[in-house]
Amino acid sequence: MSRIYYIAGNWKMHKTRAEAADLARALRTQLQDGVHKYLVAPSFSALETVGPLISGSNIRLGAQNVAVEEQGAHTGEVSVLQLKDLGVQTIIVGHSERRHVYKEEDALINKKLRLALKHGFEVILCVGETLEEREAGQAEVVCESQTLWGLAGLGATDLANIVIAYEPVWAIGTGKTATPEDADAIHASIRKVIGRLYGTSAAEQLIIQYGGSVKPENVKALMAKENIDGALVGGASLKAETFAAIAKF
């Protein structure tokens, strides 16, 4: 298996530009000898500040979301063209907060993903079930559906620029973490879906991250699982020491 580990930090709606700059500088230093693939996704307002500070390093610049249209009368939105102008390399789509708090539907997420790919971005597609869905035994079905919808209309060659992040909604920011076994089972089922759609080789190469209260204390057990290839880190990505500990597990 030749997949690499990919550790991403989603800063969500935290950090002023000065605070973001401090964190970016610290991470550049602390991760410079790291052997995995890394990303940070600051708020839109800090992208222009953070970009130059990590430019030329082993840390990619990510955006937390993107508008569904290229440009136009879309008040409060940020377009692919604007993100490209800021040096963003990767865009996160379908994060559970976008799905559940802001009511983004699968078809919209698919449209965003395809637009981002068209403009040359790498895309992290987030999927995951709620606590109710898990307790009803629907976790795999929900994640499979979100994966199928998210990748609708894409060919096998598109997968080179796609990462999937499995984020059980009930584990995000709650301190609860899926057990490594539970997480790996969902990752394996997602990989099976990819195999059905695009073939075994494509499924084997796809990076699937886990997101949901990843911490320095649990990262090793999660990453030891066969189908878990990295982490999409929320709260623990806001401090250089905790993110670096996860990133260099």
Q: Out of 97, 133, 167, 187, pick the active-site residue.
A: 167
Report the C-alpha gap between 242 and 16 in whole angstroms: 19
Closest by CA to 92, choosing from 237, 221, 239, 242, is 237
Please say if 187 is a catalytic residue.
Answer: no
Please say if 167 is a catalytic residue.
Answer: yes
Backbone angles phi and psi of 203, in degrees to 5: -65, -40
Beta bridge partners of 91: 63, 123
Backbone torsion region of residue 116, taken as left when φ is above 0, otherwise alpha when ψ lies between -120 and 50, otherwise beta = alpha
Q: Out of 95, 133, 144, 187, pick the active-site residue.
A: 95
Write the CA distances from 88 to 41, 43, 101, 177, integer angstroms: 9, 12, 25, 30
Backbone torsion region of residue 53, taken as left when φ is above 0, otherwise alpha when ψ lies between -120 and 50, otherwise beta = alpha
Q: Which residues are catalytic?
A: 95, 167
